Amino acid sequence: MDVFSLNSLLLKTGIFHLTVGHLVMWAIGFLFVYLGIKKNFEPLLLVPIGFGIFIVNLPLTPLADKGDLIWIFYHYGLEWEVIPPLIFMGVGALTDFGPLIANPKTLLLGAAAQFGVYVTFFGAIALGFTVKEAASIGIIGGADGPTCIYLTAKLAPRLLGANAIAAYSYMAMVPLIQPPIMRLLTSKKERQIVMKQLRPVSKLEKILFPMIATLVICLLVPDSAPLMAMLMLGNLFRECGVVQRLSHAAQNELLNIVTIFLGIAVGTTMKAETFLNPQPIFIFILGLIAFSFSTMGGLLLAKFFNLFLKDKINPLIGSAGVSAVPMAARVTQRVGQQENPRNFLLMHAMGPNVAGVIGTATAAGMFLAFLK
Amino acid sequence: MYNWDLAFKIFIFGFVGVFVCLTVLMFSIQICGAILKGSKNKKS
């Protein structure tokens, strides 16, 4: 065949290979870009993810097949587990664990908020997903994007796009999802509880915390080490006070760079031929269930604590046990102030909020220990 | 068919395991805090 004939040239263009599926995926990609730009929903991720969806659904483009540019981002970034732990390092460098150190029992609220992870795990199995896929869907309830991506890339890579989108979408929708559940499960009197001011935390305690947390969690759940160790390394940079340049780099340049690679690599997992089936819809529904049950778990444990504690805690802070930092803590503050404008719950809610990050990384490590 | 036996085991060991880990961490922080407080009092 003459390669320069009009027919063969036309067949080498993408236009003749377009399918309805591609067009649907373009619409989804544009929707994400729109939500990121216009509605400010997690724009740092939705913009590169949306654009990634768009370009991977352009026929014949050498981008996402083995050896192509974005395949390299995906392969070395996600399959080699590089990107999520690096994001965790940045998160650690950005996080003040002071409220958690001042009130360590909030760690248990972070643990209770993993309830949704396990409820959804069962739900996903009932809907016909395999045990590994169910674990990767359940972890959406932890509301921690990097952990969700880390676990999904290891256990169910084919669900990576849908799971990542569900996790980040629900994280962006915390202010819509959580308040009705918070009001449903608490009385007005409970929401008005004013908590005792947190004690000041010394610099030495803040420096020791990342060491102790790494030691305890990584000894008990070695599979959570890539996430936990990087989270705590970033936090040690922040708290030790002698490596400001490293702390700054982890919080800014490094975090921003890996976010670009993460977004585009996740977006390019969403090819029309693999994404357009009923499963992503199930994943979105299950993600919502996971998120709701996680919120309930934290709230109910806080209420349970109040049966025994002399200094009552405001149960609203339990809902911040989902690890959408700091959005969930801000929602707690807002709902609390609607009942009592002079109640400041933000710092109290930051304890369970950062505990949720540790809890979700631990839950992911548990799943890996059982299933990898 | 559904692997409920494995799922149930993962639920029990996983969820309880997360609680155990974070409880151990909670006590470790409290013990460390108490030691630091004790040594501070001793110095002063």
pLDDT digit string (tens) for chain A, length 372 residues? 566 788 888 888 989 899 999 999 999 999 999 999 998 888 888 899 999 999 999 999 999 889 999 999 999 998 888 999 999 999 999 999 999 999 999 999 999 999 999 999 989 999 889 999 999 999 999 889 999 999 999 999 989 888 988 888 788 788 889 999 999 999 999 999 999 999 999 999 999 999 999 999 999 999 999 999 999 999 999 999 999 999 999 999 999 999 999 999 988 888 898 888 888 889 989 999 999 999 999 999 999 999 999 989 999 999 999 988 888 999 999 999 999 999 999 999 999 999 999 999 999 999 999 998
Residues of A in contact with B6 (CB under 8 A): 131, 370
- Is residue A125 within 8 angstroms of chain B, CB to CB? yes
Tokens of A78: 């996600």
Confirm if A103 and A196 have CB atoms less than 8 A apart.
no
- Is residue A232 within 8 angstroms of chain B, CB to CB? no
Task: For chain B, count helices (H), then strands (E).
Answer: 1, 0
List of residues 6+ apart from B4 with CB closer than 8 A:
A125
List of residues 6+ apart from A38 with CB closer than 8 A:
none
Cβ separation B11–A122 shorter than 8 A:
yes
Q: What is the pLDDT of residue B1?
A: 53
Q: Dihedral through CA A255, CA A133, CA A41, CA A355, nearest 10?
A: -60
List of residues 6+ apart from B10 with CB closer than 8 A:
A118, A121, A131, A135, A366, A367, A370, A371
Q: What is the pLDDT of residue A1?
A: 53
Cβ separation B36–A204 shorter than 8 A:
yes
Cβ separation B18–A107 shorter than 8 A:
no
Enumerate residues 1 to 44 of chain B having a beta carbon within 8 A of any beta carbon in chain A. 2-4, 6-7, 9-11, 13-15, 17-26, 28-30, 32-33, 36
Distance from CA of B5 to the nearest CA of A (A): 11
- Is residue A290 within 8 angstroms of chain B, CB to CB? no
Any idea which residue has 């599926």 for tokens? A21
For residues A140-167, one letter each, b for 16 or more C-beta atoms within 10 angstroms of the residue's C-beta and e for the rest, the string is bbbbbbbbbbbbbbbbbeebbbbbbbbb
Q: What is the pLDDT of residue A225?
A: 97
Of A221, A233, A178, A224, the C-alpha closest to A353 is A178
A-interface mutation test, from B19, B21, B44, most A Cβ less than 10 A away: B21
Residues of chain B short of pLDDT 50, as ranges, are: none
Distance from CA of A356 to the nearest CA of B (A): 10
For residues A4-41, one letter each, b for 16 or more C-beta atoms within 10 angstroms of the residue's C-beta and e for the rest, the string is eeeeeeeeeeeeeeeeeebeebbebbeebbebbeeeeb
In whole angstroms, how large is the CA radius of gyration of chain A?
22
Q: Does this complex have an ipTM over 0.85?
A: yes
Cβ separation B11–A105 shorter than 8 A:
no
Residues of B in contact with A351 (CB under 8 A): none
Q: Which residue of B has its CA nearest to A134?
A: B7
Distance from CA of B16 to the nearest CA of A (A): 9
Of A186, A232, A253, the C-alpha closest to A354 is A232
Confirm if A366 and B17 have CB atoms less than 8 A apart.
yes
- Is residue A323 within 8 angstroms of chain B, CB to CB? no
Distance from CA of B26 to the nearest CA of A (A): 5
User: A208-253, pLDDT tens digit by residue?
Assistant: 999 999 999 999 999 999 999 999 999 999 999 999 999 999 999 9
Cβ separation B22–A362 shorter than 8 A:
yes
* Pairs from A75-81 (Cβ < 8 Å, separation ≥ 24): A77/A258, A77/A261, A77/A262, A77/A265, A78/A149, A78/A153, A78/A160, A78/A262, A78/A265, A78/A266, A79/A153, A79/A157, A81/A150, A81/A153, A81/A154, A81/A226
Q: Which residue of A has its CA nearest to B19?
A: A111
- Cα distance between residue A341 and residue B3, in whole Å: 50
Burial of B36 (0-12, 13-18, 19+ CB in 10 A): middle
Cβ separation A107–B13 shorter than 8 A:
no
Cβ separation B24–A202 shorter than 8 A:
no
Q: What is the pLDDT of residue A81?
A: 86
- Cα distance between residue A267 and residue A165, in whole Å: 9
Residue of B25, B30, B36 with shortest CB distance to A217: B25
Angle at A290 between CA A362 and CA A34, to 5 degrees: 105
Cβ separation B22–A118 shorter than 8 A:
no
- Cα distance between residue A337 and residue A320, in whole Å: 15
Cβ separation B22–A110 shorter than 8 A:
yes
Q: How many CB pairs under 8 A join A and B?
A: 99
Tokens of A253: 């340049």
Backbone angles phi, psi at A336, to 5 degrees: -65, -40
Backbone angles phi, psi at B19, to 5 degrees: -60, -45
What ranges make up the beta strands (E) of chain A? Answer: none
Q: Which residue of A has its CA nearest to B33?
A: A205
- Is residue A97 within 8 angstroms of chain B, CB to CB? no
Global confidence as pTM: 0.92
- Cα distance between residue A35 and residue A44, in whole Å: 11
Distance from CA of B17 to the nearest CA of A (A): 8
- Is residue A222 within 8 angstroms of chain B, CB to CB? no
